[in-house]
Amino acid sequence: MLDCQVALLENALARYFVSGEVPGPLGSRHPAITPFQFFHASDGYVVIAAGNDGLWRKLCEALEIIELIDDARFANNALRTENQAALEPLLEQALGRRAVAEWVEVLGAAGIPCGPIHTIAQVADDVQVAAREMIIELVHPQAGSQAMPNSPLKFSETPVRLEKAAPLLGQDTEEVLRSLVGLNEGDVEDLRRAEVI
């Protein structure tokens, strides 16, 4: 888990190694590309990644705020990033006029990378999540049937799938002691008599 988290810090680590500055929290926005963050729509949040000047122009056209195309504060990515505090409320105002699904359709049709931010309920009901078999049901001996996330690892020749619920306390102790530690039945019984297990 540590390795995955460090890998996700690639941008922050690169900036630190180049500049020596420790990056601070920025919320959802990208530190060097603007706009590249989530925004409020009328009914939720939409992520927009307008990573170059051509996408910036298309975004302004799609949001019907074409006056920002020629605004000197936002003429290029460096200026948009520098003036992000002035730009964000203008984009939020425009995006607040429609629902997330509408914006995803409009922006997607314009070729602007975007997507909704789902609630947990939406994730649980998502067709792609279902197609990826990421939500499964397992039966626990005490809690009964439970829905839970499946393994994200997908291999064609060695499929990974959760097949049993979390064990009860001590449920697998004997098996672990025999298979991994190499104890025999007598050794396990000795540990049980001594109340070690």
Mean pLDDT score across all residues of the chain: 93
pLDDT at residue 107 is higher than 90? yes
- Over residues 14-36, the mean pLDDT reads 91
- Over residues 13-35, the mean pLDDT reads 91
In eight-state DSSP terms, residue 174 is H
**CATH class entry, domain 28-117:** alpha beta
Least confident of 57-61, 77-81, 176-180: 176-180
Residues taking part in catalysis: 30
Residue with tokens 């005490």: 142
Is 23 in contact with 31 (CB distance < 8 Å)?
Answer: yes
**Threshold 0.85, pTM exceeds:** no
Q: Which amino acid is at 158?
A: T
Q: CA 120 to CA 132: how far, in whole Å?
A: 16
pLDDT at residue 161 is higher than 90? no
| R_g of the chain, CA atoms, integer Å | 26
Instruction: Summarize pLDDT for 116-155 with one digit per residue, the tens.
Output: 999 999 999 999 999 999 999 999 988 899 999 999 988 9
Instruction: Pinpoint the residues of the chain covered by CATH 3.30.1540.10.
Output: 28-117
Q: CA 188 to CA 70: how far, in whole Å?
A: 78
In eight-state DSSP terms, residue 146 is E
pLDDT at residue 65 is higher than 90? yes
The counts of H helices and E strands in the chain are 10, 5
Which pLDDT band holds residue 26 (cuts at 50, 70, 90)?
confident
Q: CA 192 to CA 160: how far, in whole Å?
A: 34
